[in-house]
């Protein structure tokens, strides 16, 4: 009980000065806790299985209007289910209230500022949701006769070209389902390219600041990873790169701007070193929101590019997916693209081209995450060429503004201009016993999603902030003021920060026990 | 300065922010990008449209596609026209779900985490397996990842795959196996199901896994238990790909001896969307828990002892293991896993049985109706779920037939000759609960009239 009292009181403190305070979900949770005073903690949310009452139903199915035959006369009894799956028995209102309650325990971009570095949590336009739900997009089958899906194929064809134009590449496949999937697809093409030339190139070079998916994708594509250290200024160490490349180099994977938010200004020299060694350059497009219309990977010297449409092109992250990770290539890699590609024939008819002996094959069923591609296309059409450039300009301006204002309070390991994101170090707070994780948790009490923390790995106590272009100066100022306040709290009342958050549906969770004694389902039957 | 409805930057904002940074112009923020690679001119991308023009343009493009509302579909082959309960779209349209990222901050992501935990629970219930993950890109990539897991778990390199598995799943498996240098052996079929003699002959102590699909690509129910017995005799694993909707009626593969069960959750309330995004599911028996790819949510408690959920077993994942990772999957298909969960919540214990039974009944009525047409015959005699193969009369121009069916208001079945040259002139017909007797009868008449 004492614990509860403390929690409630502190959470109110944490909220009172912020005015609007936490998002709708936590406000309501706090309100619940508060109105219940200290009599009982905020209730746990039941599992849907726990709401079950035998005999209730929530479904409505068409009648069986054909002569019914006993199932075991059509399928041998031993192949039929011996007992029904123990699914819950609830009615429709239970379902709606359950998922509504769950949604209120979740935080999205529509709830508030979400400066999660490397993830580009920009606003997800509503019109894009509408168009993706049109029957002619949502209720079409991948194996329909091509003549009956000309509208869909036209959209895909146009998007292939738009993304090629945006990145400066010669052709784009829309098949990969996500960024990491795109990385793997690109690496498989690079492998096929080298093998096609009779060369055994087994190594993929990545900087130590790279996304974890880069080396993982290289492994799954059958390569060994060579990690090279970054220079003190955060950029690729050209000498280390020169020492690393050789006749076994298949590719260098690079993010530019890199994961520190810095533009690799030596990119032409980097490209030249890798190309002279016979390797190819792979562009991880996670940070494309910094460069649209300003520079293109194809012009920097990259041979393969993937884009994360769920980042740069505003398609919603969906709580972890679905995304889309199209891959663009220079002409010499076109023969290796996954099949099929969408082509436009001389008579103006669109079709799916399945030919190609050198293709790496198929990386996903059907043609990619079409519903996501529809949204990305709508996004491009909403901005047009000039608008996309403005997107990147504002994303970069916002990031530099935040960095400038936060610099007096948090260590900026790489001063100067950044691109769409920047990193800070929270190590200055360690003297008070406060770590970056604690700062992140304290931010929750003020209605913010924390930045990315502890990545990249080469910055101690890293805090990585990416504001995106869809946030106003007022929002940025509010967040900055809160970060400054937390830095002061860490110094003056570290316990307050260490025990945060207070106003959320649950406090910090025991992740160690979760991993040591895994409970991974409700084991209902 | 151009204005845009998603960008709040005003001229005053821009001036004030540049002053705070201590630079005179936006251009100075891009000084680190060498002049030679600065893009000059207008990007070659499609032009800008206002919101109304965009909706007109896109509804025209959408209108150019025949769809499940304009046409009655008898096409399946992995993607099905099932009824999607209205509730699903309302739930997945809640922006707390769809505008959230992966739940890295559990304190403000309990909704998503619990939804995934429930999804894992549903998949375990349906498949009879001990552990399921938070989802995969689709059924085909889940199938391929199952091959990777089996190879890693057994330290063997050979995967035996039945040709009755979806051709695109086999193609994706080929591509993945090439990446990890695994060997794929394909086994033929007999009367629409895996050729058991050939399979038995192929299995050895080098076999990492036997990989089958049930109901298979031809709609036929495979003998999962027999496959399990054959491969377990050589200490290999059995991978089963299963349509989850069929598991309302068909025995859970886990009870028949499967070690890994995968599939695509599209039949569970997910829009067809030209084949994506859908949602792969991935379930394993207990011994393989720590090898499962992708995200997993586990139950735990907070500092007050309250139940809560977190991403767990992350030591398996790429962002920790980097080059030592066995899978590079990073995202999952959370929003579609949510769709599938809501679907199973709506269907419940009885609804899952009823919808599976309706598919069985209507497809068998269709089977009897179509094979009564002169010149049309049933190709395989083995029991089927909601799809079956018919042989069209010799010399049928299938492409022309498809166009005639479209004109008559139908999306015809899948032409098997595309992937199985020996089955040219054969069509795979799928029938879901959405097809009425009247539509089925009309389809039969249209087919007969076109032959």
Per residue in B46-60, pLDDT tens?
A: 999 999 999 999 999
- pLDDT at B318 exceeding the cut of 70: no
Nearest C-alpha in A relative to B337: A321
For residue A300, give every residue at least 6 positions away whose Cβ sits within 8 Å of its Cβ, in sequence order, or none.
A256, A267, A268, A271, A283, B37
Interface of B with A in 164-223 (CB under 8 A): 166, 168-169, 171-172, 174-176, 178-181, 221, 223
- Average per-residue pLDDT for chain B: 96
C-alpha to C-alpha distance for B316 and B291, rounded to whole angstroms: 7
Residue A36: per-residue pLDDT: 30
| B336–chain A Cβ distance below 8 A for any pair | yes
Residue A211: per-residue pLDDT: 86
Considering only the beta carbons, identify the residue of A107, A142, A504 that sits closest to B100: A107
For residue B277, whether the previous peptide bond is cis, meaning omega lies within 30 degrees of 0, is yes
Considering only the beta carbons, identify the residue of B55, B100, B104 that sits closest to A131: B55
Counting one residue from A and one from B, how many pairs have CB atoms under 8 Å apart? Answer: 729
Residue B317: per-residue pLDDT: 65
Q: What's the average model confidence in pLDDT over A57-76? A: 97
For residue B333, give every residue at least 6 positions away whose Cβ sits within 8 Å of its Cβ, in sequence order, or none.
A318, A320, A321, A322, B135, B136, B137, B138, B277, B278, B279, B280
Task: Please tell me what DSSP assigns to residue B52.
Answer: H
The complex's ipTM?
Answer: 0.97
Residue A19: per-residue pLDDT: 33
- Count the alpha carbons within 13 Å of B50 in the hemisphere toward its beta carbon: 3
Per residue in B329-362, pLDDT tens?
A: 767 899 999 999 999 999 999 999 999 999 999 9
Across the beta sheet with B131-132, what order do the strands follow?
A: B131-132, B280-284, B260-264, B237-241, B207-213, B158-162, B183-187
Give the best residue of A321, A397, A469, A477 to mutate against chain B (max B CB count within 10 A). A321
Q: Do A61 and B440 touch (CB under 8 A)?
A: no
Q: Do B7 and A390 touch (CB under 8 A)?
A: yes
| B145–chain A Cβ distance below 8 A for any pair | no
Interface of B with A in 375-414 (CB under 8 A): 383, 385, 399, 402-403, 406, 411-412, 414
Residue B321: per-residue pLDDT: 67
- pLDDT at A435 exceeding the cut of 60: yes
Q: What's the average model confidence in pLDDT over A314-321? A: 96
- pLDDT at B403 exceeding the cut of 80: yes
CA-nearest of A162, A183, A165, A224 to A382 is A162
For residue A98, whether the previous peptide bond is cis, meaning omega lies within 30 degrees of 0, is no
DSSP string, A105-140: TB--TTTS---BTTT------HHHHHHHTSHHHHT-
| B347–chain A Cβ distance below 8 A for any pair | yes
Q: Does domain A129-382 have CATH number 3.30.365.10?
A: no
Nearest-neighbour CA in chain B from A4: distance (Å): 8
Residue B241: per-residue pLDDT: 98
Per residue in B23-51, pLDDT tens?
A: 999 999 999 999 999 999 999 999 999 99
| B306–chain A Cβ distance below 8 A for any pair | yes
Instruction: Give all domains of chain B, ordered by start, each with its CATH number.
Output: 72-84+348-450 (3.90.1150.10), 87-342 (3.40.640.10)
- pLDDT at A10 exceeding the cut of 50: no
Q: What's the average model confidence in pLDDT over A490-511? A: 96
Token readout for B414 is 């899948």
pTM for the whole thing?
0.95
Using CA atoms, how far residue A236 sits from A418, A431, A435, B28, B311, in Å, is 16, 31, 28, 22, 33
Residue A458: per-residue pLDDT: 85
**What architecture does CATH give domain A390-507?**
Alpha-Beta Complex (3.90)
C-alpha to C-alpha distance for A478 and B400, rounded to whole angstroms: 64
Residue A210: per-residue pLDDT: 87
| B77–chain A Cβ distance below 8 A for any pair | yes
Q: Do A102 and B111 touch (CB under 8 A)?
A: yes
Q: What's the average model confidence in pLDDT over B309-321? A: 78
SS3 A281: strand
- pLDDT at A323 exceeding the cut of 90: yes
A227 φ/ψ angles, rounded to the nearest 5 degrees: -100, 130
Token readout for A190 is 């690079």
- Average per-residue pLDDT for chain A: 91
Token readout for A287 is 């940070």
pLDDT > 90 fraction of chain A, expressed in percent and rounded: 88
- pLDDT at A197 exceeding the cut of 50: yes
Asked if B87 contacts A92 with a C-beta cutoff of 8 angstroms, the reply is yes
- pLDDT at A50 exceeding the cut of 60: yes
Q: What's the average model confidence in pLDDT over B182-206? A: 98
Q: What's the average model confidence in pLDDT over B180-185? A: 94
- pLDDT at A306 exceeding the cut of 80: yes
Per residue in B273-293, pLDDT tens?
A: 999 999 999 999 999 999 999
- pLDDT at A2 exceeding the cut of 80: no
Residue B328: per-residue pLDDT: 77
Nearest-neighbour CA in chain A from B297: distance (Å): 6
pLDDT band at B319 (very low <50, low <70, confident <90, very high): low
Q: Where along chain A do its domains lie?
A: 129-382, 390-507
Residue A15: per-residue pLDDT: 36
Q: What's the average model confidence in pLDDT over B391-418? A: 97
Stated as kind and residue range, the H or E segment containing B161 is: strand B158-162
Considering only the beta carbons, identify the residue of A86, A165, A370 that sits closest to B43: A165
pLDDT band at A40 (very low <50, low <70, confident <90, very high): very low
Considering only the beta carbons, identify the residue of A324, A372, A417 that sits closest to B29: A417
Q: What's the average model confidence in pLDDT over B264-272? A: 98
Per residue in A277-302, pLDDT tens?
A: 999 999 999 999 999 999 999 999 99
- pLDDT at A29 exceeding the cut of 80: no
């Amino acid at each position: 009980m004492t614990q509860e009292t403390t929690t409630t009181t502190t959470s109110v403190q944490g909220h009172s000065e912020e005015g609007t305070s936490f998002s709708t979900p936590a406000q309501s949770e706090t309100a619940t806790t508060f109105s219940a005073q200290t009599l009982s903690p905020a209730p746990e949310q039941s599992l849907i299985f726990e709401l079950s009452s035998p005999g209730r139903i929530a479904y409505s199915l068409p009648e069986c209007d054909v002569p019914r035959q006993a199932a075991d006369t059509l399928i041998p009894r031993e192949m039929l289910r011996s007992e029904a799956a123990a699914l819950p028995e609830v009615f429709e209102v239970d379902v709606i209230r359950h998922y509504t309650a769950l949604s209120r325990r979740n935080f999205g971009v529509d709830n508030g500022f979400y400066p999660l570095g490397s993830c580009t949590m920009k606003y997800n336009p509503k019109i894009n949701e509408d168009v993706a739900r049109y029957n002619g997009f949502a209720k079409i089958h991948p194996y329909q006769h091509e003549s009956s899906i000309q509208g869909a194929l036209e959209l895909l064809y146009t998007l292939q070209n738009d993304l090629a134009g945006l990145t400066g590449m010669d052709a784009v496949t829309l098949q990969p389902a996500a960024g990491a999937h795109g990385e793997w697809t690109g690496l498989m093409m690079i492998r096929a390219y080298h093998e096609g030339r009779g060369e055994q190139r087994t190594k993929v070079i990545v900087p130590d600041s790279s996304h974890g998916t880069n080396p993982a994708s290289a492994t799954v594509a059958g390569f060994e990873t060579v990690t090279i250290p970054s220079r003190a200024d955060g950029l690729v160490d050209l000498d280390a790169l020169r020492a690393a490349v050789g006749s076994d180099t298949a590719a260098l994977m690079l993010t530019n701007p890199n994961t520190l938010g810095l533009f690799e200004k030596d990119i032409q020299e980097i490209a030249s070193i890798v190309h002279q060694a016979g390797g190819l350059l792979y562009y991880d497009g996670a940070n494309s929101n910094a460069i649209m219309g300003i520079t293109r990977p194809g012009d920097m010297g990259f041979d393969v590019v993937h884009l994360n449409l769920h980042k740069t092109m505003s398609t919603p992250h969906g709580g972890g997916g679905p995304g889309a990770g199209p891959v663009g290539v220079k002409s010499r890699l076109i023969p290796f693209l996954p099949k099929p590609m969408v082509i436009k024939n001389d008579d103006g008819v669109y079709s799916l081209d399945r030919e190609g002996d050198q293709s790496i094959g198929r990386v996903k069923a059907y043609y990619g995450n079409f519903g996501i591609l529809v949204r990305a296309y709508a996004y491009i059409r909403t901005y047009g060429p000039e608008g996309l450039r403005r997107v990147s300009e504002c994303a970069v301006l916002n990031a530099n503004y935040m960095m400038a204002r936060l610099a007096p309070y948090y260590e900026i390991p790489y001063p100067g201009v950044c691109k769409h994101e920047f990193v800070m170090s929270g190590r200055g707070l360690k003297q008070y016993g406060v770590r970056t994780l604690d700062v992140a948790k304290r931010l929750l009490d003020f209605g913010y999603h924390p930045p990315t923390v502890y990545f990249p790995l080469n910055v101690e106590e890293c805090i990585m902030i990416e504001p995106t272009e869809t946030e106003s100066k007022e929002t940025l100022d509010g967040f900055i003021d809160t970060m400054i306040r937390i830095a002061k709290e860490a110094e003056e009342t570290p316990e307050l920060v260490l025990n945060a958050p207070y106003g959320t549906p649950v406090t910090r969770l025991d992740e160690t026990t979760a991993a040591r004694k895994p409970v991974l389902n409700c084991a209902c039957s | 300065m151009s204005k845009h409805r998603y960008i709040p930057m005003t001229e005053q904002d821009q001036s004030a922010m540049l002053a705070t940074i201590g630079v005179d112009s936006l251009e100075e923020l891009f000084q680190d990008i060498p002049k030679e690679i600065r893009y000059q001119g207008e990007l070659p991308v499609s032009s800008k449209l206002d919101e109304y023009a965009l909706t007109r343009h896109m509804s025209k493009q959408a209108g150019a596609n025949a769809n499940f509302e304009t046409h009655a579909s008898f096409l399946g082959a992995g993607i099905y026209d099932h009824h999607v309960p209205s509730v699903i779209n309302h739930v997945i349209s809640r922006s707390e779900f769809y505008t959230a990222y992966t739940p890295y901050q559990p304190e403000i992501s309990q909704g998503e985490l619990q939804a995934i935990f429930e999804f894992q629970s549903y998949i375990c219930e349906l498949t009879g397996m001990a552990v399921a993950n938070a989802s995969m890109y689709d059924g085909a990539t889940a199938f391929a990842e199952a091959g990777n897991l089996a190879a890693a778990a057994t330290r063997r390199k050979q995967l035996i795959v039945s040709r009755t598995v979806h051709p695109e799943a086999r193609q994706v498996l080929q591509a993945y196996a090439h990446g990890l240098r695994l060997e794929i052996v394909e086994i033929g079929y007999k009367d629409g199901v895996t050729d058991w003699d050939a399979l038995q002959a192929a299995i050895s102590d080098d076999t990492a896994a036997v990989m089958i699909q049930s109901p298979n690509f031809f709609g036929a129910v495979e003998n999962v238990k027999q496959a399990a017995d054959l491969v377990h005799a050589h200490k290999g694993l059995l991978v089963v790909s299963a349509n989850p909707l069929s598991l309302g009626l068909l025995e859970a593969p886990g009870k028949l001896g499967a070690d890994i069960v995968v599939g695509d959750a599209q039949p569970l309330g997910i829009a067809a969307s030209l084949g994506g995004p859908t949602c792969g599911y991935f379930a394993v028996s207990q011994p393989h828990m720590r090898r499962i790819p992708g995200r997993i949510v586990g139950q735990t408690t907070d500092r007050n002892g309250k139940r809560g959920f977190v991403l767990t077993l992350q030591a398996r994942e790429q962002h920790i293991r980097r080059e030592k990772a066995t899978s590079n999957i990073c995202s999952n298909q959370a929003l579609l896993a949510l769709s599938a969960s809501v679907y199973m919540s709506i269907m419940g214990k009885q609804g899952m049985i009823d919808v599976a039974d309706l598919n069985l009944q209507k497809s068998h009525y269709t089977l009897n109706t179509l094979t009564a047409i002169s010149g049309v015959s049933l190709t395989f005699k083995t029991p089927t779920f909601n799809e079956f193969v018919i042989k069209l009369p010799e010399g049928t121009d299938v492409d022309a037939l498809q166009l005639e069916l479209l004109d008559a208001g139908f999306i015809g079945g899948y032409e098997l000759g595309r992937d199985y040259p020996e089955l040219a002139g054969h069509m795979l017909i799928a029938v879901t609960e959405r097809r009425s007797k009247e539509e089925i009868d009309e389809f039969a008449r249209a087919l007969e009239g076109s032959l």
